[in-house]
Amino acid sequence: MEVSCLELALEGERLCKVGDYRAGVSFFEAAIQVGTEDLQVLSAIYSQLGNAYFHLHDYAKALDFHRHDLTLTRTIGDLLGEAKASGNLGNTLKVLGRFDEAVVCCQRHLDIARDINDKVGQARALYNFGNVYHAKGKSICWSGAEPGDFPEDVMIALKKAAEYYEANLAIVKELGDRAAQGRTYGNLGNTHYLLGNFGKAVASHEQRLLIAKEFGDRSAERRAYCNLGNAFIFLGEFEVAAEHYKRSLQLARQLKDRAVEAQACYSLGNTYTLLQDYERAIDYHLKHLIIAQDLNDRIGEGRACWSLGNAHTALGNHDQAMHFAEKHLEICKETGDRSGELTARMNVSDLQTVLGLSYSTNNSTLSENKEIDYNLHGAKPRMSRRHSMENLELMKLTPDKMNVRT
Amino acid sequence: GDENPEEAKSSAVASSQIFHSDGGEMEPDTMEIKSVSEFFTKMHMGSLMSRQRG
């Protein structure tokens, strides 16, 4: 019995709806093999193939199919179809880092939506526009700088992102679309955070949290808590940040998401370091270490060792500190992290000096070692690095400079 | 939830990758959806309507 293109496409559609994109792709490709003379059906197949490949992170193929869809919709003069194809193509180009082309697609999406007076379409195009400028801003000059202190072109892109999100919000509020408001508040919050507007970031993420709770969306709720924690760190409110990270940790555990659980533990470890509660910091960094090992995440493990080394040093536990510093060094060598390796070598050498001193000063106790750090900081200038952990300097000292904010 | 049902869970992602996703966790992308079944239903309804009228 012959299976028609339409039947194959319907099965592909069903499979994608339940999240089985791999199988969905097979059915859509089979549908194309059979072929159809109905160009609307073909457009829907191209579009869904593009989205399926997008979800499978095969962006080159997603780009191909959304392009086919765009060409087709233009050929048959299907304006609404063209708007949708432009939106999808824009999102795909954004992920590929081709922001200028993505902007053209977003504009086309927006123009058509305005022409046909489609408010929902306009809002969606504005959200995509915001996302493109947010991603562009982040891509230009990301590492090394602090939020609010990026180069001019980064700030311009981020400000544009905020404007588009605000324009989107005006429409989705008018439409009463709470789900869309939630998404926009989340991304607007992250944009304000990068712009250094931490108060506004908190206000946005609080709205996001409220909407996530309305929908019982625990995954969005967890994201909001994590993002709120990050913003409170920069407001210098470490205790508040810790409370938010703890909620984020609880939800990560409920959601059985080990990677984000590890992330929350790591953020908590860093927060307690900022609060100079090194025992708690160690507790959370150890939790992070265990998960990183379970997930076979060597880079995460290296960071955990680095953090544990610092916390133990702060407590004067130099033997433990040495253990983690050596482990950090070993992992950095393995992962080819040159700057981490340099930091680790300095730490090992510092600790060797301290441990050498402790043995030569008639078995001085660990707490006395701590005194030595302070007293001899002139002779060993690098030890001053640890004392600066008492403030936000921690973030500048982390291997990739951004750990606290993750 | 209010999110895209297709939103991927991050459990498959190593934590090291998350540590690089600096600047906060973003909301999911919204993709435009076209559907064969919807089109098919509309087409079918359309032909039924015209048959009734005729």
Please state the ipTM of this predicted complex.
Answer: 0.83
DSSP, res A142: -
Confidence of residue A368 (pLDDT cuts 50, 70, 90): very low
More confident residue, A102 or B1: A102
Closest-approach residue (CA) in chain A for B26: A187
Of B14, B16, B31, the CB nearest to A91: B31
Chains A, B: CB contacts within 8 A come to: 170
Per-residue model confidence (pLDDT) at position B51 = 65
Total residue count of chain B as it appears in this document:
54
Q: How far is CA A281 from CA A309, A315, B22, in A?
A: 11, 11, 21
For residue A216, the chain B residues in CB contact (below 8 A) are 1
Residue A377 has pLDDT above 50, yes or no: no
A chain contacts of residue B26, beta-carbon cutoff 8 Å: 131, 134, 186-187, 190
State how far residue A294 is from chain B, nearest Cα, in angstroms: 10
Region label for A96, one of left (φ > 0), alpha (ψ between -120 and 50) or beta (otherwise):
alpha
pLDDT (tens digit, 9 = 90+) per residue, A313-335? 999 999 999 999 999 999 999 99
On chain A, the residues whose CB falls within 8 A of the CB of B14 are 259, 295-297, 299-300
Q: Say which range, A178-187, A265-274, B21-30, has the weakest mean pLDDT.
A: B21-30
Distance from CA of B30 to the nearest CA of A (A): 8
- Taking residues A53-69, report their average pLDDT: 98
A190/B9 CB distance under 8 A? no
Separation of alpha carbons A347 and A343, rounded Å: 6
What does the mean pLDDT of chain B come to? 62
Residue A231 token pair: 């913003």
Looking up tokens 């909620």 gives A247
CA angle A50, A51, A56 (to 5 degrees): 100
* pLDDT > 60? residue B12: no
Report pLDDT for A147. 82
Asked if B36 lies within 8 A of A6 by C-beta distance, the reply is yes
Percentage of chain A with pLDDT > 70?
86
The residues near A178 (Cβ < 8 Å, ≥ 6 apart) are A211, A214, A215, B2
* CA gap A191, B24 in Å, rounded: 9
Q: What is the mean pLDDT of residues A66-78?
A: 97
Cα Dmax for chain B = 65
- Distance (Å, rounded) from C-alpha A66 to C-alpha A69? 5
Is residue B31 predicted with pLDDT exceeding 50? yes
Residue A2 has pLDDT above 50, yes or no: yes
Type of residue found at A95: V
- Segment B25-49 mean pLDDT: 82
Contact status, residue A389 vs residue A395, Cβ threshold 8 Å: no
Which chain B residues touch A6 with a CB distance below 8 Å? Answer: 36, 40
- Mean predicted confidence (pLDDT) in A159-173: 98
Q: Does residue A303 contact residue A357 with C-beta atoms inside 8 Å? A: no
Q: Tens of pLDDT along A91-132?
A: 999 999 999 999 999 999 999 999 999 999 999 999 999 999
Q: Tell me the shortest Cα–Cα distance from A272 to chain B, in angstroms.
A: 18
Angle, CA B53 vertex, CA B52 and CA B54 arms, to 5°:
90
Name the DSSP letter for residue A391: S
A175: tokens are 């439409």
Question: What angle do the packed helices A39-55 and B36-53 form, to 10 degrees?
Answer: 160
| Cα separation values, A406 from A34, A211, A379, A402, Å | 48, 22, 35, 7
How would residue A198 be classed by pLDDT, with cut points 50, 70 and 90?
very high
- The alpha carbons of chain A give a radius of gyration, in whole angstroms, of 26
And the tokens for A20? Answer: 């089985």
State yes or no: pLDDT of A151 exceeds 50. Answer: yes
Asked if pLDDT for residue A244 goes beyond 90, the answer is yes
CB contact under 8 A, B34 and A84: yes
pLDDT value for B5? 39
Look at chain A and count its residues.
Answer: 406
Q: What is the mean pLDDT of residues A353-365?
A: 64
Rounded Cα–Cα distance for residues A139 and A133 (Å): 10
List CB contacts (< 8 A) between A69 and chain B: 34
Burial degree of A368 (CB within 10 A; 0-12, 13-18, 19+): middle
Torsion of CA A209, A214, A215, A217, to 10 degrees: 30
Whether pLDDT at A207 is above 80: yes
Q: What is the DSSP letter of A56?
A: T
- Residue A169: its pLDDT value, please? 98
> How far is A12 from chain B, CA to nearest CA, in Å?
10
Q: With an 8 Å Cβ cutoff, are B32 and A83 in contact?
A: yes
Tens of pLDDT, residues A277-304:
999 999 999 999 999 999 999 999 999 9
What pLDDT sits at residue A140? 84
Question: How far apart (Å, rounded) are the C-alpha atoms in residues A48 and A30?
Answer: 13
Which phi and psi (to 5°) does residue A301 adopt?
A: -60, -40
pLDDT classification of A141: cutoffs 50, 70, 90: low
Binary contact (B7, A83; C-beta < 8 A): no
pLDDT of residue B13: 33
- pLDDT tier, A83 (very low <50, low <70, confident <90, very high otherwise): very high
| pLDDT for A358 | 65
Q: Are A394 and A273 in contact (CB under 8 A)?
A: yes
Question: Scanning the structure block, which residue is given the tokens 């999808």?
Answer: A88
- Residue A176: band (very low, low, confident or very high) from pLDDT cuts 50, 70, 90: very high
Q: State residue A365's pLDDT score.
A: 46
Tokens 């973003």: give the residue. B26
Confidence of residue A266 (pLDDT cuts 50, 70, 90): very high
